[in-house]
Chains A and B, each alone.
Chain A
């Protein structure tokens, strides 16, 4: 609105200035000017020596008043410190807020901190809006009228075993000013964030939330803790079998590492406890080799101040042979590779022609190899980064007598090509498929080894792209409670040793950089005064001219 008014005023000023300004002048010799036409420019913008008359000072006053009234001019607005403001409260209720410190949880500390912060300023606060955040931002209540009501609402909240998504808070703070204009019954202009995370650097960036008066209260205090921070599995690349699970355990805030143990319970009920080893600073690990499919549970002892990282569970999927839809001859290769045939639900299809290709993972075979001694087909191009050519001897390739692929459907990229654009090996990323010259040749010569490498490269490249079930999942807003192998091991939640860092001092009466709407607008008065002075000057000019 201000800019619209400004643009209108500017347009009027331009129109006014574009009109010639003929000032009245009385001359006793005026009759001698009768035949003199107006010559040259009639623009009123011209240099002239001002006469220090009262009218000149009035005109000068108009200019000064208008300059003062320019929006964002420091003198154009003054803070109205008597106006009450709304306060937006963002409370962290992530899993780490359940950490116990000094005999209570951090969430309890947050409630107390919030009460002590806003209660003394109650008279300057018109209303509150309350939101809670963890891995999502949830509005709890709008237009809360009193501190007691606010504290009561916050007290009813409980930490949830979810992670902390600070980007949500950052976006919320960035939109605080915009929210101030929303007519929802409580125009909030200032935000208080209560969390156990230290204030992030963007709080104090240039024109950041702190510069606008927003406050970040970190209620955390270091509390010794030990817990599982991650579970890293190692699987066979072709079969997908879980070969090893490394349980990573970290200690925080001076928790001694010497007596930290991990208890592992296998699907068959066997329980073994062993000390966490391989400490690299505060992080150690225990390697577990799952010999059976099923659920393995882990427990760290002693767990320390934060409980959600003390236990974990994984479900190890059963492993079996690769299921293959074998559509080509030489079925003995199934047994040689340890694969089983399954036409209904295959992991891989081996096809003799490109026409049989569908969206399922497949290897399409060409017409095979016809090695001829001394007659080489030079390799013209090859895609070095492709795993399909990993370990291939291109000299052998040139003597292997490969024939080019027939016309390949869209999506295939040539990996190895010969003369006259003959494509020997090709790959398709999605749906995943590969074209190779043929099955491995029998024998132990170079070409036989080459053909085996080509085929197995393609099979491994396809099979390792199979979706593999995760050993565990994390809690989410839809399923916030940990259960089975749904864990609350959100990164950083168990880190109870951070140095607390709060930013800003809460003062709802303090001036805020971007809160023009909270300013007592002075510029309309200045413009009005300028208009009044202008009218006075015009009236005096007319009067003087008439007298």
Chain B
């Protein structure tokens, strides 16, 4: 018998494909020579997507001269050539923290929201023709999805990734052994320069060294013009509201003692929250190298929050998410 949060949540993303179809990945191949970050640069090139008209220059392919536009051009002696976007397939890698802490709270597990986020991103990326890989942060397992927008295939891949941690440690709530034991080789292969790396985690690692190791990975990833977005799943408000105040026998991932007896008060909760925030600030300081963003998904201070509401509020309403995906047709 497991204690809580056993296995991956079976619920599929409660957003219909028709709604996701209205979005496309906003990312394009970024210029390697520029500073990585949120500013994407378009590059002229060979593709079917029109970019602009410009005067003909020697060496241009004569086939790109737009004769009709040249006739309307104000300088009759000048030809106008049509230029096209230099479109390169974007690589998106989504790392999911499948640790025991992600399987809480029971009413709205963080892992479930992470899976939904990943499923949405995979679908939109696939629809945009971009390549996606899923990565289990705990086991290091990488599942390639390519440019598939098949939601059934995406869910199966997510199940494989989600189950990786549960299988490896028997589904216990232990938070031991995360990044420190992970083989990063597969991730490095799946994460070419210029790609986007989404890390879905709560940063509740038992060992501070693991946190710093992940921060170092994030920092290193940015050296290859990669944009790293850490999505921080924060259910603190919801969980503390549910347990209330008073004498409690605390249980949860990472609790080494048989029983952790505490008297929960506002002061104690504020103190612990301060420790968590301080850890995250240290992570930010260690991880930030120009191409890093941390995105917070917060659970409301309710006893029984609705996971769907949490997802919709953050996925369709957050600024950074809007920089990842955009309604189709928008520029």
> What is the bound-complex CA distance between A38 and B104, given in angstroms?
24
B109: nearest chain-A partner, CB-CB: A28
- Most chain B CB neighbours (cut-off 10 Å) among A22, A25, A38, A40: A25
Stretch at the interface among B56-64, B246-254, B317-325: B246-254
How many B residues have CB within 8 A of the partner chain? 50
Jot down 6 A-B pairs with beta carbons below 8 A, ordered by A. A28-B204, A34-B257, A36-B272, A38-B247, A40-B265, A547-B4
Q: Is A5 an interface residue (CB 8 A)?
A: no
Q: Would you call B248 and A28 a contact (CB within 8 A)?
A: no
For B1, what are the chain A residues with a Cβ–Cβ distance below 8 Å?
A: 546-547
> What is the bound-complex CA distance between A48 and B268, given in angstroms?
16
Q: Would you call B275 and A23 a contact (CB within 8 A)?
A: no
For B2, what are the chain A residues with a Cβ–Cβ distance below 8 Å?
A: 546-547
> What is the bound-complex CA distance between A38 and B261, given in angstroms?
6
> What is the bound-complex CA distance between A519 and B194, given in angstroms?
87
Q: Would you call B252 and A28 a contact (CB within 8 A)?
A: yes
For A547, what are the chain B residues with a Cβ–Cβ distance below 8 Å?
A: 1-4, 6, 106
Which residue in B101, B247, B248, B259 is a CB contact (below 8 Å) of A29? B101
> What is the bound-complex CA distance between A30 and B256, given in angstroms?
10
Q: Would you call A30 and B255 a contact (CB within 8 A)?
A: yes
Tell me the residues in window 255-306 of chain A with beta carbons closer than 8 Å to chain B beta carbons.
none
Tell me the residues in window 200-253 of chain B with beta carbons closer than 8 Å to chain A beta carbons.
202, 204, 206, 235-236, 239-240, 242-253
Q: Would you call A42 and B247 a contact (CB within 8 A)?
A: yes
> What is the bound-complex CA distance between A264 and B106, given in angstroms?
111
> What is the bound-complex CA distance between A28 and B260, given in angstroms?
13
For A21, what are the chain B residues with a Cβ–Cβ distance below 8 Å?
A: 247
Tell me the residues in window 17-34 of chain A with beta carbons closer than 8 Å to chain B beta carbons.
20-34
The 0/1 profile, CB within 8 Å of B marked 1, for residues 27-71 of chain A is: 111111110111110101010110100000000000000000000
Q: Is B15 an interface residue (CB 8 A)?
A: no
For A39, what are the chain B residues with a Cβ–Cβ distance below 8 Å?
A: 263, 265, 268
Tell me the residues in window 284-323 of chain B with beta carbons closer than 8 Å to chain A beta carbons.
303
Q: Is A200 an interface residue (CB 8 A)?
A: no
- In the complex with contacts A28-B202, A28-B235, A28-B253, A23-B247 CB distance below 8 A: yes
Q: Is B71 an interface residue (CB 8 A)?
A: no
Q: Would you call B251 and A48 a contact (CB within 8 A)?
A: no
Q: Would you call B263 and A30 a contact (CB within 8 A)?
A: no
For B69, what are the chain A residues with a Cβ–Cβ distance below 8 Å?
A: none
Q: Would you call A25 and B276 a contact (CB within 8 A)?
A: no
Q: Is B110 an interface residue (CB 8 A)?
A: yes
The 0/1 profile, CB within 8 Å of A marked 1, for residues 36-72 of chain B is: 0000000000000000000000000000000000000
> What is the bound-complex CA distance between A40 and B235, given in angstroms?
27
Which residue in B106, B206, B272 is a CB contact (below 8 Å) of A33? B272
> What is the bound-complex CA distance between A545 and B104, given in angstroms?
13
B96 to chain A, nearest CB (A): 16
Q: 7 closest Cβ contacts across the A-B interface?
A: A31-B254, A30-B252, A28-B104, A25-B243, A22-B249, A28-B101, A25-B248
Q: Is B262 an interface residue (CB 8 A)?
A: yes
Q: Would you call A22 and B251 a contact (CB within 8 A)?
A: no
Q: Would you call A23 and B251 a contact (CB within 8 A)?
A: no
Q: Would you call A546 and B275 a contact (CB within 8 A)?
A: no
Q: Would you call B106 and A26 a contact (CB within 8 A)?
A: yes
- In the complex with contacts A30-B254, A33-B272, A36-B262, A546-B3 CB distance below 8 A: yes
For A31, what are the chain B residues with a Cβ–Cβ distance below 8 Å?
A: 101, 175, 204, 206, 252-255
B102: nearest chain-A partner, CB-CB: A28
The 0/1 profile, CB within 8 Å of A marked 1, for residues 104-121 of chain B is: 111000100000000000
For A20, what are the chain B residues with a Cβ–Cβ distance below 8 Å?
A: 247
The 0/1 profile, CB within 8 Å of B marked 1, for residues 380-395 of chain A is: 0000000000000000
Q: Would you call B252 and A51 a contact (CB within 8 A)?
A: no
For B253, what are the chain A residues with a Cβ–Cβ distance below 8 Å?
A: 28, 30-31
> What is the bound-complex CA distance between A37 and B261, given in angstroms?
7
The 0/1 profile, CB within 8 Å of B marked 1, for residues 317-359 of chain A is: 0000000000000000000000000000000000000000000
Q: Which residues of A contact B (CB under 8 A)?
A: 20-34, 36-40, 42, 44, 46, 48-49, 51, 545-547
> What is the bound-complex CA distance between A547 and B3, given in angstroms?
5
A40 to chain B, nearest CB (A): 6
> What is the bound-complex CA distance between A427 and B217, given in angstroms?
124
A437 to chain B, nearest CB (A): 95
Q: Would you call A25 and B101 a contact (CB within 8 A)?
A: no
Q: Would you call B268 and A36 a contact (CB within 8 A)?
A: yes
Q: Would you call B248 and A23 a contact (CB within 8 A)?
A: yes
For B4, what are the chain A residues with a Cβ–Cβ distance below 8 Å?
A: 26, 546-547
Q: Would you call B303 and A545 a contact (CB within 8 A)?
A: no
Q: Would you call A25 and B204 a contact (CB within 8 A)?
A: no
A398 to chain B, nearest CB (A): 94
The 0/1 profile, CB within 8 Å of A marked 1, for residues 77-114 of chain B is: 00000000000000000000000111111100010000
Q: Would you call A28 and B105 a contact (CB within 8 A)?
A: yes
B278 to chain A, nearest CB (A): 10
For B250, what are the chain A residues with a Cβ–Cβ distance below 8 Å?
A: 25-27, 30, 33
A56 to chain B, nearest CB (A): 11
Q: Would you call A48 and B255 a contact (CB within 8 A)?
A: no
Q: Would you call A34 and B256 a contact (CB within 8 A)?
A: yes
Q: Would you call B3 and A27 a contact (CB within 8 A)?
A: no
For A37, what are the chain B residues with a Cβ–Cβ distance below 8 Å?
A: 262
Q: Would you call B245 and A25 a contact (CB within 8 A)?
A: no
For A22, what are the chain B residues with a Cβ–Cβ distance below 8 Å?
A: 247-249, 259, 261
Q: Given A28-B204, A33-B250, list of 16 further CB < 8 A pairs? A: A20-B247, A23-B247, A25-B248, A25-B250, A26-B250, A28-B105, A28-B235, A28-B253, A30-B254, A31-B204, A32-B204, A34-B255, A37-B262, A39-B265, A51-B303, A546-B2
Which residue in A26, A40, A49, A51 is a CB contact (below 8 Å) of B263? A40
A365 to chain B, nearest CB (A): 96
Which residue in A26, A46, A48 is a CB contact (below 8 Å) of B104? A26
> What is the bound-complex CA distance between A36 and B272, given in angstroms?
9
> What is the bound-complex CA distance between A33 and B276, given in angstroms?
10
Q: Would you call A30 and B251 a contact (CB within 8 A)?
A: yes
- Most chain A CB neighbours (cut-off 10 Å) among B236, B243, B260, B303: B260
> What is the bound-complex CA distance between A44 and B261, given in angstroms?
13
A135 to chain B, nearest CB (A): 72
> What is the bound-complex CA distance between A433 and B243, given in angstroms?
95
